[in-house]
Structure 1
Amino acid sequence: MPQESIISLQDIHLTLKSDAGPVNILRGVDLTVQQGETVGIVGPSGSGKSTLMSIMAGLEVPTSGSVCIIGKRLEEMGEDALARFRRENIGIVFQSFHLIPTMTALENVAIPLELAGESEAFSLAEARLKAVGLADRATHYPAQLSGGEQQRVALARALSTNPKILLADEPTGNLDGRTGEIIIDLMFRLHEQEGTTMILITHDDALAQKCNHQIRLEDGRVVSATTSREEALAGE
């Protein structure tokens, strides 16, 4: 019996208006991801990678095409329903962290849990901070944390509600090489422990090749789709 896709994008187009005329951001993208898989999406700046992630998260509505996430057609849902769906099913890690500067690390991680009505929000947030190695930084504000520590807080927040899908946009983009490696190792370790489906948007081909599948976008189109095994065989 075939496994049901957790992410299914069919013929996704996104066209935006501009003074110079319509701008085609995505041009007929198809993508299927199974539960528990890891996918690295690569391509040059302006190829549509971050836009594609926003469409998977329901933050952007395509001009045409079908977006089916965990069996739900996102294009058929209103803003309130999309917000609830994201809160219950999708964790997002942004390149610029997006932490609230007036809240401690613990409070930042607890926010999604509190919005979900979780009575044990702070104890669960403490457990998430411990899982990313920041138990001793819980009372620190973002300005008191290094870039790597802020990214770990952002990761703990994204995973706080045990989402089925984790979307990460350039998760190492603002970090030095060594700190970036630590963050990626942490993400893959947590993925293995919890079976979360993980989509990484990155400029880094080496990072993408850590994933089960690699998708390359150029000019809003998928130009190649490979698996890690295929990459390994091609290098032999």
Structure 2
Amino acid sequence: MGNILSQEPIINLKDIHLTLKSDAGPVNILRGIDLTVQRGETVGIVGPSGSGKSTLMSIMAGLELPSAGSVTIAGEHLEKLDEDALARFRRANIGIVFQSFHLIPTMTALENVAIPLELAGERAAFSIAAARLSAVGLADRASHYPAQLSGGEQQRVALARALSTNPKILLADEPTGNLDGKTGELIVELMFRLHAEEGTTMILITHDDTLARKCTHRVRLEDGHVVSNDKVREEAIAGD
């Protein structure tokens, strides 16, 4: 039984459609997406602007529900959950890193990382948050506010926050998009190191094909369709 369960994909999307209404008529964002991801894999999702990458991430996170299709994440059918149940599911299973960081400006780095832990009722929220900040190299910046941090430091705080509750899945939307090249490389190295240490399934939404090819799989979207899903060469993974 255990072996069978371990082989079940942690992300299983079947025939996902998302159609939004507009004054000009319906707009088809996703058009029949099928995608499975196994536990512990890293997947880079690439494609031109407007291809549906960020929308697909929102579907995986339960932030957006599809117009049609089945979304099974960590064994849960998200399309069957109400808003409260979706919020509880995300809190227990998913960490999200946004391109624009989404830190609360009136809270310190430590307080920002502790938020999801406090919402989960964790009594040791601040000690866990401090350990997470230390893991991303920011122990000495815990009392600083976002405006006092560089872009790379803010992204590291956002990463620490996303990983604070030990999520099964980490979703990152253009995690290096607002960073310079050198800082972006450091963030990518950090994300893959933490992934290797903790075995978190990681989904990266990116315009950077080089970043996508650091993953175990590279998925390309165009016009709401998956047009390719390639396993990256083992040598490339080992080399990184």
User: Normalised by the shorter chain, which TM-score bucket?
Assistant: over 0.9
Aligned to 2:93: 89
Aligned partner of residue 68 in structure 1, secondary structure: strand
Q: Alpha-carbon deviations, 1:72-126, whole Å to 9, x = none?
A: 0000000000000000000000000000000000000000000000000000000
- Structure-2 separation of matches of 1:145 and 1:117: 28
Structure 2's unaligned 5+ residue stretches are none
Matched, 1:183 2:184: no
- The one-letter amino acid paired with 1:32 is T
Aligned to 1:229: 233
- Structure-2 separation of matches of 1:171 and 1:227: 22
Aligned to 2:162: 158
- Structure-2 separation of matches of 1:79 and 1:42: 29
How far 1:211 sits from its partner (Å)? Answer: 0.1
Matches within 5 A, 1:1-236: 3-229=7-233
- Structure-2 separation of matches of 1:171 and 1:73: 27
- Structure-2 separation of matches of 1:202 and 1:30: 19
Q: CA RMSD in A?
A: 1.1
Q: Runs (4+) of structure 1 moved beyond 4 Å?
A: none
TM-score (normalizing by structure 1): 0.97
- Structure-2 separation of matches of 1:231 and 1:214: 15
Aligned partner of residue 155 in structure 1, secondary structure: helix
Q: Alpha-carbon deviations, 1:4-62, whole Å to 9, x = none?
A: 11000000000000111100000000000000000000000000000000000000010
- Structure-2 separation of matches of 1:180 and 1:140: 21
How far 1:229 sits from its partner (Å)? Answer: 1.7
| Identical residues among aligned pairs (%) | 83
- The one-letter amino acid paired with 2:185 is E
- Structure-1 separation of matches of 2:124 and 2:73: 28
How far 1:230 sits from its partner (Å)? Answer: 8.2
- Structure-2 separation of matches of 1:231 and 1:64: 38
How far 1:231 sits from its partner (Å)? Answer: 9.7
TM-score (normalizing by structure 2): 0.95
Structure 1's unaligned 5+ residue stretches are none
Q: Alpha-carbon deviations, 1:176-208, whole Å to 9, x = none?
A: 000000000000000000000000000000000
- Structure-1 separation of matches of 2:192 and 2:128: 21
- The one-letter amino acid paired with 1:104 is T
